[in-house]
Structures are given as structure tokens and as C-alpha cells.
Structure 1
Amino acid sequence: MGMIDRILAALAGPGSSVIRETAEVFRENAEAASARDTALRAAALDQFAREFGRTGISRFDRLVDALNRLPRPAMAFGTLGLLGSAMTSPEWFAARMAGLALVPEPLWWLLGAVVSFYFGARHQTKGQAFQREIAASLARAAHQVPEPADPAIPEGNAALAEWRALRSGAA
């Protein structure tokens, strides 16, 4: 083993990582990739927790949110129920549809407007709230300057030196 160690030390130099660095040109360092993936997932989960972790909401607000979620499933299940009733009891279904045929056209327009405004207003409200949360997250992220990936970057880099000077002055 001593001879192999001496040959490799002569080739790569004592304590050198030339062979490792050369191999990493052709194949990614799996350990470093795993560490980067873990850090990325942790950062994503943290961001999601900050964006969607709503605190300080009253019970009344939660109740109203729950009630606002009912009309769409109720309409979907009601439509499926009507389809099922048409197959199981055509007479009952025909009587209900005959009643709907007697509804005047202006009332259908009014119903369409009410439903459209309800879902449109809800969509707009939720969309704007989501955009506010994103803007707040971006504002928080703008104040967090990331650490450099490799603090051992040579100091001959003028841009890096200027960035470090600005960063140390701001801190």
C-alpha cells in the first residue's frame, strides 16, 4: 500500500484533490447533489409554510370560508343526483324538468347573473389575496441576501470584493 500511496501522491500531489475534481467534471458529486437537493426542498417547504400558513383567523372567518366552499360541491352533487334520478325514476325527473321549463327566461338570466357574480367575486377575492401573499413573500425574500455558495472564492474577483464590501456595509 505504501508504494501505491507514493505513486498517487506523486501524481496528484500530497493532500491534493485533483483526481476528485477531475472526476467531478465528468460525474456529479452525489453527496453534494444530495445536500443541495435537501437544502432546496427545505427552502421550498419553508416558503410554502410562510405563504400558506395563515394564523390569526377567527372562528367566524373560518365558518364563512367553509360556507363559501359549499355551493360548488352542492351544485355538482345535485347535478349528479338529478342524473341518477333520471335513470331510477324518470317520472319524478320529468315532473321536475317540466317545472323548470315553466320558469320565465328573465329569471334564468337573473340566476345566471347571481351565480356568475358569486363565483366571479369569489375567484377575484381569492386571487387578489393570493397575489398579496406572494407579494409579501417576495418582499420578505428581497431583504434576505443569500450566502455565497463557496466562501473560499479567490479574492482576485473585483465584483465579488465589491459585493462583499456593500454587504458588510449594509449589515
Structure 2
Amino acid sequence: MIGSLFQVVFGSGRNVIRETAEVFRENTEAQAAREAGLQASALQQFGTEFTSQHSSRFDRFIDGLNRIPRPALALGTLALFVAAMVDPLWFAERMAGIALVPDPMWWLLTAIVGFYFGARHQVKGHAFRRDIAASVAAVPGVVAQIRALDPETAQGGAAARLPARVADDADGGGNPALAEWQSTR
């Protein structure tokens, strides 16, 4: 009787309890797999957009224009300091004019500049993380190449070439618990 009850609930390759629960609550593992697939396809699409080797003159021109604002803002700010020292009256007149700009215009300027630099920072951050991930992924290959080139390293002879502090850390470094743990390995 118990066997037939289990056959009804779990039989024929189905799990009725799980299927019923998924009606009320989403399967988080399946959702994570769907989200990972979506994110991977989006990143692949963005990657192909930004790694195109065949950019037109217009694309190169726009890329050049995109590089102008940061240096222009930095050099313009430095020029204001120089102008304040060279001709204080001229500088005071310009600053009096800036003081008349209404607050909503400053908010708009802040939003525009913030979004421009924020988006650029995000793009650069993603590129940096992608480069780091590629470097980390290459480590096993580099280690294998080093071992292939230097058999002494593969045999553990490189420990003799380590600085004393690193060699001490490798054998417990005066920490009895660490030394005991390493001796059990």
C-alpha cells in the first residue's frame, strides 16, 4: 500500500509535490538559469557591438568626440584658476553671471554630466572586470607552461628560491595550528 502511494505521488518520472509547489512558487534554480542565459546573451550582443573591428569614419569621429568632455572640463577648470590670478575683475564678472543661473539649470547640468560620466565609468568598469576575468582564466595555462619549462618548479624545488618569510608561511610560520593542519594534509 505504501509502495502504491509513493507510485502515485512520485511515479512515472514525475514529482507531484514539486510540480504542485511550482504552481505557487517559482523554481528558483530554473529562474536563475533563465536569468543567466538572458544576461549572457545580452553581454554577447553588447560585446559584438563594441568590439567591431570594422568601424566607419563616422564611428571613429564620434568616439573621438566622446573623449573630449573630460579633458575639456579638467583643463577648463584649471584655466579658470589661471584667469582668476591673471585678471581678477574679468573673473569676478563671469562668476557674477554664473551666480544668476537658476537652480533648476544647475540640476539639469548635474544630471547630464552625472549620467555621462556614470555611464562611461560603468562601461570602463565592465571592460576592466572582463579583462581581469580573462587574466584569471589564463592562470592555469601559464602555470602549466612554467612547469613545462622548469622541471625544478614542478618537483617543488622553487620553495628554496622563495624569500624566508614566504617559506616560513608555507610551513606554518610559527603558527602551531596551521603547522598541524598542514601536516595532516
Greater relative contact order (CA < 8 Å, ≥ 6 in sequence)? 1
Q: Which has the higher helix share?
A: 2
**TM-score under structure 2 length normalisation:** 0.45
